Amino acid sequence: MSTFMRHLSGAIIAIALLSVPVHAMQDKEMDHAQHGAASMEDAGHEVNKAEGTMDHSSMDMNTTDHNHGNMDMSDEDHANMDSAEHDHEAMMEEAGQEVGIEEKLGSILADVNFVDSQGNNVNLRELTKDIPTIMIPIYYRCPDVCNMLQGSFAEILPDVALKPGQEIQVVSISFDPRENRKDAARAKRTYIAATQGGYPAEHWSFLSAEGDVQSVNKWLHSIGYTVKREGGLYAHPVAVVAIAPGGKVVRYLYGSSFLPFDITMAGAEAATGKEGLSIKRMLSFCYNYDPEGRRYVFSILRVSGFAIFGFIGIFILYLVLSGRKHKGKKAN
């Protein structure tokens, strides 16, 4: 009993001592969307120049605002997207809670059709029914983060330890209904070329809605992904979604750049169909969001409190069990 008390006291003292240096780390940034951005800046710039010449066919569409996308159309906005000033971080801050991701682990993709880079109709459930899929929600005219995200994939896909077409496939889908097969084709040429032959083109699909606003909204709703149009641009989350064979959502990965290991693990887990907790959800316990600094900071009080209550719970359990054992000895 005395030995256990000494150990327990020592552990609590250690937690208190550790609180001092850890508290100094509160300004540590946890925004994974910014991780690796510097290494992808040049690639994103080159891709943006390539996509900056995309022409858009005019579309006569009657649309209304929707919670998932606010897809009211303006050809003039779309035509002037390249010249629009864009600060994605500022747009996200201004959009606030209107834009984000509500993780829908276990939900099934919407039964909707898109158009691929060759003009073929593609049903999302049919596309994902047999192969673990990494789905990338983007829009092709995005001036920065979408380029960085897809550029990161082009860089790492050759090193992902899964067999394309059997153990993994990648699908980029535009949530801007004004974009079309020409945009998808240009993006595909750009990013497949960036893989330098390290990933087969047939297993990275690029899809567009070609004016089908309902399909876009149903798809976004099924993955819990909400965007907001600002002029000709979009405020939107930066994440990819792992889809199990059969179209079930099993994991979210947040950020604009990843390691081959990240995608290998996501694909392998998607193959099992088992839902996984995202890093964002786990970090939400240990970190608080600082809206002024627009970053996550370590919550020493929350973690220390959890640890102390955990030790107290263990101690109470020890007392109960040792008391029963002592009574048993007396009875004998």
The binding site comprises 142, 146
Residue 141 token pair = 């005219």
Q: Are 54 and 78 in contact (CB under 8 A)?
A: no
Sign of the CA dihedral with 270 first, then 68, 99, and 50 last: positive
Please give the DSSP secondary-structure letter assigned to residue 205. E
Write out the two tokens for 233: 């641009």
Amino acid at 100: G
Q: How far is CA 136 from CA 95, 96, 207, 225, 254, in A?
A: 21, 22, 10, 11, 11
Q: Which ranges in 116-169 belong to alpha helices (H)? A: 124-127, 145-156
Task: Give the per-residue SS3 of 42-60.
Answer: HHHHHHHHHHCCCCCCCCC
Question: Which residues are CB-contacts of 54 (< 8 A; sequence separation ≥ 6)?
Answer: 140, 141, 182, 183, 186
Question: Which DSSP helix (H) or strand (E) runs through 183?
Answer: helix 181-194
Binding residue positions for Cu cation = 142, 146
What does the radius of gyration of the chain's CA atoms come to, in whole angstroms? Answer: 24
